Amino acid sequence: MKLNKLIFISAILLSFVKMLYQFESDKSVDIIWAAIIFLVGHNIFIKTISDFKKKEFFSEFSLMSIATVGAFILGEYIEAALIPIIYNLGELSQSYAVKKAKKDIQNLKQSKLKEVERIDEDGKLLLVSPLKIEINDRIIIKSGDLIPVDGTVENGKGYVDISSITGEVIPIYVKEGDEVISGSICKDTSLVIKASKKFKDSNYGKILATIDEASFNKSKYEKFITRFAKKYVPFVALAAIITLIFPYFIVENYVFSDWFYRSLVILMISCPCAFLVSIPLSYFLGLGLMAKRRIICKGGEFIDILAKTNKVFFDKTGTLTEGKIYIVSVQGFNGFAREDVLTEAQIAESISRHPIAKAICENVMICDYENFEAKEFPGEGIIANYNDNKIIVGSKKFLIKNKIDAPDLPETEFIEVWVAKNGKFIGRILLDDKLKKDSLCIGERLKKLKIKKVALLTGDTKIKAKKICELICGDEYHAELKPLDKVSVLEKEKENMNGSLIFVGDGINDAAAIAKADVGISLGKYGADITIETADIAILDGSPEKVTETILLSKKIFSIVVQNTSIAIGIKLLIFILGVFGEAHIWQAILADVGATLIVVFNSLRLMRA
């Protein structure tokens, strides 16, 4: 790369010297110009040769090569040199912008990494960054967590989801001694993993290190432009040939060099770089811009859809509410003391990252997993077995489903966690959480962005759902939903609707709904990894207001994309017409192409300052 720049700069200097000292017009002049052009355009010529080998005769590089050589043959040395110079300058500015956007995205992806619990030699738990995990360190992975380093299972058994690495959708069962690859997600239990590699050598670390535009989902618009360019190039190339030959039969004083020049101008216009580069570039810079605001968007596709959103559905716990749930009271039944109810619940909740689990387990960390097995049913509760005891915790519905005789207690305005031991109901834990500050009347603010419906989906009770719905100024609420119920509400909503629907959630119980929505958004740094991985957009700050910001940004980015496309096509069209009438120069044609790219870059950068 350095050598390239060196060659490029020295060639430009040489051409300045050349222009200052007009040599006599003899053969040496041609040779010096040929050398300059070769130096300045060597990267284009090399790419042309490799395109020809691949039988791609209509690439932007071959067109530029033909135009450069053509201009040289016509004795238009300065123009011949300007073609590669302007092209390379355009590339430079664009690669600068892309590099910057890439860096922003990369930084954000790194900061997405959550701390993990490492078990120290004396059995204590310590929160460490995945970057600090050493080989043979033991870490605790809980239900819904992403496994950050490659390793082997030392304790625990259950299913891990490897779909984000291999695409294999069926989860695999792992037990003690089995290997696990990083990037896979622990489905519904907890595991102790012994690291066999450091983060940077692990599968997941390597994936995070390579961020490449090609890995982003392309928008429909981008795909259309690529297809369009493929058809457009041969068409304009044909126009160039016609411009060269046809006038011979109708123009009186046909001068070959004159028409050859015009056809070169048209050839240069057929160079599709302006759209081929500018459209994906606009999207990519948009993604970089979002990254700056701590929003990870996984592709331009979602920007288009978000710009046309008219329904927003929110999960409640952890998304609209703080997720910092606290215990209000514990009730014991059937002869069980409150402490017993709490202790039993803590044992079961130790495998979960649910905000409820966090509240119940506060400061109690159980990591002795012998004779212990537990499984989380997202949005319902947990079933655990230890030392021949069976504990069930969860919603009242969940206990009834598991054939527990749950008494008819009046519904409260709190989050209710019911607890059963060995088939008998033993008590209830009532918890509460606060609404996030930004959630208050978020519905009204979304309506200003042409959102028609704002709704709430929750696994919680009706009383609680109604109260929160009023506070956020929502239009409707759906309560007592299991994860798949959330999906069916969305499915129904999507029938016969124009526009698109987004769902915002944070927990493992939201992953399915996030996958179903037109755009699934995960909110909050402490959201479940599985949800962040499934989401099309991951907002790392927990503020619901960021959803409004994301929609607004998408609208802006989309309108910039439309502007950029019109600019690129408009400039081309103008030069094309001028070219046919012999009013445009080759350097203007290439400048139009690169100029359009530059305008696109600056137009997109304008957003960054917004």
Q: Which residues are at the interface with Mg ion (CB under 5 A)?
A: 315, 317-318, 506-507
The torsion angles phi and psi of 152, rounded to 5 degrees, stand at -125, 155
Identified catalytic residue from 104, 137, 188, 315? 315
500 binds, among ligand ADP, Mg ion, none (CB under 5 to 8 A by kind): none
Q: Which is nearer to ligand ADP, 291 or 357 (CB)?
A: 357
Q: Are 81 and 40 in contact (CB under 8 A)?
A: yes
354 binds, among Mg ion, ligand ADP, none (CB under 5 to 8 A by kind): ligand ADP
The type of residue at 401 is K
Does residue 542 interact with ligand ADP by CB under 6 A?
Answer: no
Instruction: Give the residue among 40, 51, 28, 27 at the shortest CA–CA distance from 79.
Output: 40
Q: Which is nearer to ligand ADP, 219 or 352 (CB)?
A: 352
Taking CB under 6 A as the criterion, which residues in 297-316 touch ligand ADP? 315-316
Taking CB under 6 A as the criterion, which residues in 371-400 touch ligand ADP? 376, 379-382, 393-395
Smallest distance, ligand ADP to C-beta of residue 369, A: 17
Instruction: Give the residue among 417, 386, 421 at the shortest CA–CA distance from 404.
Output: 421
Instruction: Give the residue among 461, 458, 440 at the shortest CA–CA distance from 504.
Output: 458
Q: Which is nearer to ligand ADP, 90 or 318 (CB)?
A: 318
Alpha-carbon span 487 to 502, nearest angstrom: 12
Smallest distance, Mg ion to C-beta of residue 505, A: 6
Both tokens of residue 166?
A: 């291999």
Instruction: Give the residue among 156, 143, 111 at the shortest CA–CA distance from 130.
Output: 111
Q: Which region, judged by CB under 6 A, interacts with ligand ADP, from 71-79, 161-169, 353-361, 439-447? A: 353-361
Alpha-carbon span 503 to 518, nearest angstrom: 8
Of the residues 507, 524, 527, 544, which one makes contact with ligand ADP according to CB under 6 A? 507
357 binds, among ligand ADP, Mg ion, none (CB under 5 to 8 A by kind): ligand ADP
**Burial of 340: CB neighbours in 10 Å, binned 0-12, 13-18, 19+:** middle
Alpha-carbon span 54 to 503, nearest angstrom: 45
Instruction: Give the residue among 72, 58, 86 at the shortest CA–CA distance from 267.
Output: 58
380 binds, among ligand ADP, Mg ion, none (CB under 5 to 8 A by kind): ligand ADP
Q: Are 258 and 582 in contact (CB under 8 A)?
A: yes
Instruction: Give the residue among 140, 121, 122 at the shortest CA–CA distance from 130.
Output: 140
459 binds, among Mg ion, ligand ADP, none (CB under 5 to 8 A by kind): ligand ADP
Q: Which is nearer to ligand ADP, 515 or 607 (CB)?
A: 515
The DSSP code for 543 is -
Q: Which region, judged by CB under 6 A, interacts with ligand ADP, from 124-132, 305-313, 351-359, 569-577? A: 351-359
Instruction: Give the residue among 485, 341, 499 at the shortest CA–CA distance from 425.
Output: 341
Alpha-carbon span 50 to 237, nearest angstrom: 20
Of the residues 162, 384, 417, 512, which one makes contact with ligand ADP according to CB under 6 A? 417
Smallest distance, Mg ion to C-beta of residue 539, A: 14
Of the residues 80, 153, 415, 451, which one makes contact with ligand ADP according to CB under 6 A? 415
The type of residue at 68 is T
Q: Which is nearer to ligand ADP, 301 or 315 (CB)?
A: 315
Task: Give the containing element (helix H, strand E) for 138.
Answer: strand 138-141
Residue 212 neighbours by CB under 8 Å, 6+ apart: none
Q: Which is nearer to ligand ADP, 165 or 430 (CB)?
A: 430
Taking CB under 6 A as the criterion, which residues in 438-497 touch ligand ADP? 458-460
Tell me the DSSP string of 69-102: HHHHHTT-HHHHHHHHHHHHHHHHHHHHHHHHHH
Q: Which is nearer to ligand ADP, 417 or 598 (CB)?
A: 417
460 binds, among Mg ion, ligand ADP, none (CB under 5 to 8 A by kind): ligand ADP
3-class SS of residue 33? helix
393 binds, among ligand ADP, Mg ion, none (CB under 5 to 8 A by kind): ligand ADP
Taking CB under 6 A as the criterion, which residues in 86-125 touch ligand ADP? none
**Burial of 248: CB neighbours in 10 Å, binned 0-12, 13-18, 19+:** exposed
Smallest distance, ligand ADP to C-beta of residue 413, A: 12
Smallest distance, ligand ADP to C-beta of residue 123, A: 25
Q: Which is nearer to ligand ADP, 183 or 507 (CB)?
A: 507
- Total residues binding ligand ADP (CB under 6 A): 25
Count other Cβ atoms within 10 Å, centred on residue 453.
Answer: 17
Active site residue 315: yes
Does residue 426 interact with ligand ADP by CB under 6 A?
Answer: no
Does residue 356 interact with ligand ADP by CB under 6 A?
Answer: yes
Q: Which is nearer to ligand ADP, 41 or 459 (CB)?
A: 459
R_g of the chain computed on alpha carbons? 31
Both tokens of residue 147?
A: 């496994």
Alpha-carbon span 393 to 349, nearest angstrom: 8
Q: Which sequence positions are flagged as catalytic?
A: 315
Residues lying near ligand ADP in the complex (CB under 6 A): 315-318, 349, 352, 354, 356-357, 376, 379-382, 393-395, 415-417, 458-460, 507, 509
